A and B are shown apart, each in its own frame.
Chain A
């Protein structure tokens, strides 16, 4: 994480608009290399990056923030530094949203996830610029990652009304009984998003959790949290009910233990928990919270998440199977 005093460069020139003469707003260095300060044609309006809790965008209750820098060390923005209290508020919001979200028809959840893809497609430029900055990616590669992230929402939109038929079914018990098993969402899932894959990786862990009717508390990439808040703006305008996804920017090390041991969290996705994963898994044991361990391939960045068909692998860990028995007879 970039230290505040260690930020070497000023915000990049993409921050201003208006072409030549627009620079110098932050650093006072004009394009021709002279140091003479000149007023910009138009000063860009910067975005304040806040948390996403219960459908709203509050600052951290702690009032703290931390500087976020691009891959080359340029200061990009200050992100909210979520606290233990924010994490607890997020769990409360996710729990409150669970009944309504899991009670929606699978078809309706699919419609909403597809809507997320539609809205995100319209903001391709924003996402591509954001992850190109954050990850130091060439623009073409950033575009490819954004496409894959949009398509990932479409992919899971399609799963909402299919996983039950793939995973459940009639059980031929030996007796006069109708016996049927169906998967149900486990509840509130705390997701530790991949540290080095702030958009496609993030999408790939959130979408399967909510596709099946769970609600999520997500700890975003600490170093590159800005795409997550951009994504929150998409979620907030896609008819996704508030509280279904809650995003915390900050340090997994600080808030993670409170989520891992929280009695109202039903499952953990430790995709981005890194070296903290074992500690979190141990804490989860107290309330028998379900755990999806980090998979192999960490550290490969967004590229590691390009597989177009992850199947049910990120859904089944957050599903319970319910079996219903009923006698057959006149």
Chain B
């Protein structure tokens, strides 16, 4: 029997967008000196959502100056308890306005509202709530009896989890007494601008949080500005390398959360139905726009023939379409440029004679879409096994022994995440011990919590965000 789903769109009426947005500097919205704007599109239908200012060097300078002044005159002098109370306020306002932010995030990013509503926004509020509580307890965090803030942090975040990445950056920085200048991604600045309004609503002292919108040039100007003490970046490994080079020779501290090519290892004793669910959500969650996505499936040879048909059967049931529909599993690719990258890299699979499969799947006429794709017969030498696709594309490899699984999983310059599916605890721990990755999920995948440190080994970056460990990046 086939059950059809009637459309169940979330109402856009909770969102009120301005036509244009200025920069948020020193507690006020202020135009960019250049007067330049960029247009923000809804990737699901290519309609224009708003125009946002493009910050240039002069604007970066104003923002850094405001952040420095706020740090020296207000924020670093305030007791931790009072700083924490500002963050609690922000957490509460985010909870109160969570549906508005979820819908806006889906419109701006293209991800399903089911995810923004049930994953992004609860995690955003929880992250502020968690770090709010650290502000007056830093002496107990294991970094000495009286740890000090660094000063002004320059923060650049990606487009895949716009508001969540903002929370991961701003909450620990503020809790530890730093002030920030943050640049959201070029294609997804809108929730950060609503966050700026939330800072106003919370009466956060001017200059503590500054938001500069713009593209790569803005980010380069911010990262290169001599007036900051710390750079925190989440994004591609290539840009991460450029930033590491730019910061070399300065006194700035640096944390980087970069790309990944996560392996999901399915042993022959795994609970296969559960593993199917985990592998599916591991790669198709957020259209695969996840740095810790399980983009390589390593399935034990003895169960591969049983596992793969079940996997495809499950993928065929995923619903692709309107991100604002509450039943949608797979939304839009975030931008035309990203869609081109996903297409290009996946096309190499065809050239290299990798078998490619997608379910029968109707793509909407407008917007940026890519059907969920499974590549089988992939070897370690194939580009689709080595390079981060950052899209809904799963590469399937097989292994015979646990040693081989570990060797293949680790055979990548990345080291952000991995999954281990087995019913045997000792085997899970044996495998986890040998995996060179910062987060290991066992019999689950893509789980996040503000108390749990997140970050990568090797070329997936350095530093951890979340938990007690996440404080270290912002304390001197």
Interface residues of A (CB under 8 A from B): 106-107, 110-111, 114, 151, 154-155, 157-162, 165-166, 178, 308-309, 311-312, 326-330
Query: Could you name 29 residue pairs across A and B whose Cβ atoms are closer than 8 Å?
Result: A107-B126, A107-B129, A107-B130, A110-B133, A151-B85, A154-B81, A154-B84, A154-B85, A154-B88, A155-B136, A157-B133, A158-B84, A158-B132, A158-B136, A160-B133, A162-B137, A162-B451, A162-B468, A308-B136, A311-B140, A326-B425, A326-B426, A328-B426, A328-B430, A329-B426, A329-B427, A329-B430, A330-B402, A330-B426
Establish whether residues A158 and B426, one from each chain, have CB atoms under 8 Å apart when the complex forms. no
Kindly list chain A residues whose C-beta atoms are within 8 Å of the C-beta of B126.
107
Establish whether residues B136 and A178, one from each chain, have CB atoms under 8 Å apart when the complex forms. no
Kindly list chain A residues whose C-beta atoms are within 8 Å of the C-beta of B468.
162, 165-166
Q: Which of B132, B139, B430, B451 contacts A165 (CB 8 A)?
A: B451
Interface size for chain B: under 10, 10 to 19, 20 to 34, or 35 or more residues?
20 to 34
CB 8 Å contact bits of B422-436 with A (1 = contact, 0 = none): 000111011001000
Establish whether residues B133 and A162, one from each chain, have CB atoms under 8 Å apart when the complex forms. yes
Known: A158-B84, A161-B133, A166-B468. A328 touches B79 (CB 8 A): no
Interface residues of B (CB under 8 A from A): 79, 81, 84-85, 88, 126, 129-130, 132-137, 139-142, 402, 425-427, 429-430, 433, 450-451, 467-468
Known: A161-B130, A308-B136. A155 touches B451 (CB 8 A): no
Kindly list chain A residues whose C-beta atoms are within 8 Å of the C-beta of B88.
114, 154, 157
Kindly list chain B residues whose C-beta atoms are within 8 Å of the C-beta of A158.
84, 132-137
How many A-B Cβ pairs are below 8 Å? 77
A-B pairs, top 5 by smallest CB distance, nearest first, are A158-B133, A328-B429, A327-B426, A165-B468, A329-B426
Known: A154-B85, A327-B426. A159 touches B433 (CB 8 A): no
Q: How far is the CB of B22 from chain A (nearest CB, A)?
A: 33
Q: How far is the CB of B434 from chain A (nearest CB, A)?
A: 10
Task: Give the distance in Å from the alpha carbon of A111 to the alpha carbon of B88 in the complex.
Answer: 10
Task: Give the distance in Å from the alpha carbon of A135 to the alpha carbon of B56 in the complex.
Answer: 60
Establish whether residues B140 and A111, one from each chain, have CB atoms under 8 Å apart when the complex forms. no
Q: How far is the CB of A126 from chain B (nearest CB, A)?
A: 21
Q: How far is the CB of B417 from chain A (nearest CB, A)?
A: 19
Kindly list chain B residues whose C-beta atoms are within 8 Å of the C-beta of A155.
81, 136
Q: Which of A166, A308, A326, A330 contacts B81 (CB 8 A)?
A: A308
Kindly list chain B residues whose C-beta atoms are within 8 Å of the C-beta of A330.
402, 426-427, 430
Kindly list chain A residues whose C-beta atoms are within 8 Å of the C-beta of B427.
329-330
Task: Give the distance in Å from the alpha carbon of A165 to the alpha carbon of B140 in the complex.
Answer: 10
Q: How far is the CB of B175 from chain A (nearest CB, A)?
A: 10
